Amino acid sequence: MTDFKIRLCTLENNCFDDISSISKNTLEKVQEDITNITLYNSHFLVYIHFQINLIEFDSLRKKISKIPIVKLNMNKISTTRDHLKYNSITINLLSSFRFYLDNAEKHIIRAFGKDSPELVNFKSELSSYFDNYFSYRFLYKLRDYALHVGFPIEMIHFEAKENITKPETMVGNLRLLVSKESLLAEKKYLGKPVTNDLIKIVDDIDIIPLVTQLGALLLKLEKHIYSLHHEKLECAISNLKQFAGKYKTIKNDIVIIVDMKEEGNYINFNMITLPFVEINDIERFSKWPK
């Protein structure tokens, strides 16, 4: 592999297997396809980051749901350490939520321009979420409250449907409650819409159902962002699959070696890896139900 500038190879177990040489024109086309995939994937990873935190929160929800009353020990589920765990998971989720929104806006500006209709439509969608969904606007502002005031989860409440004849069979759920009184004492971090919401609410707020709805809203939003890239992504993925052809296997990578130079006893080169891991992730997401 010493008499060429651009070579297509497989890479498996740290071993290169030469396939063929490729032209500079072919390399440029491949790089364009890779760029289209990377452009979307750099943002998509931020959505996955939110999903990781959402899954962690959902795991907590399942752990504190459907608890038989005969196994309930409030002393063990309301310790300082448990309180810290509930709040840590919640704050991670809230932070990743806002990080996702900020990144999504920057991504659309980079991809389509600050005066683009894509950005106008994106901001309109967010305004619609804020206006129409208490879960969205409350959790959006709860992150600010947590950042400036402290842990949002103050109380843990067990709730079960009463069974007078067989009380030992009762099953209930823990509710993670944010104090309405504490929130209103720091209303400067909430804004007028959320403050007005809280004034109308009688009880403290259980964030579990709100997080569930937030997850559905952000999935819808990410599906919209994906749709903006869909045509280019589909074309780029098809091109790269065709380019790799029969040489791509589950175990190997397809790489392009460029700028190879022999310098004494060493060989230096640059390597471009075709993004099949990213392609698989994007294709799986495209099949998620909305």
- Residue 249, amino acid: T
- The Cβ of residue 235 has, within 10 Å, a number of other Cβ atoms equal to 12
Beta bridge partners of 205: 178
Radius of gyration, alpha carbons of the chain: 26
Q: How far is CA 23 from the centre of its chain?
A: 38
What is the rounded end-to-end Cα distance, in angstroms, of the chain?
48
pLDDT computed for residue 113 by the predictor: 96
Better-predicted residue by pLDDT, 2 or 41: 41
pLDDT computed for residue 163 by the predictor: 63
Note the pLDDT tens digit of each residue in 218-251. Answer: 999 999 999 999 999 999 999 999 999 999 999 9
Q: Where along the chain do its domains lie?
A: 6-286
pLDDT computed for residue 174 by the predictor: 84
The answer to whether 6 and 258 are in contact (CB under 8 A) is yes
The answer to whether 166 and 189 are in contact (CB under 8 A) is no
Enumerate residues 6+ apart whose C-beta is below 8 A from 3. none
The answer to whether 47 and 222 are in contact (CB under 8 A) is yes
pTM of the model: 0.89
Nearest-angstrom CA–CA distance, 227 and 108: 12
Note the pLDDT tens digit of each residue in 135-188. Answer: 999 999 999 999 999 999 998 876 667 666 776 667 777 889 999 999 999 999
Burial class (CB in 10 A: 0-12, 13-18, 19+), 93: buried
Nearest-angstrom CA–CA distance, 109 and 17: 41
pLDDT computed for residue 76 by the predictor: 61
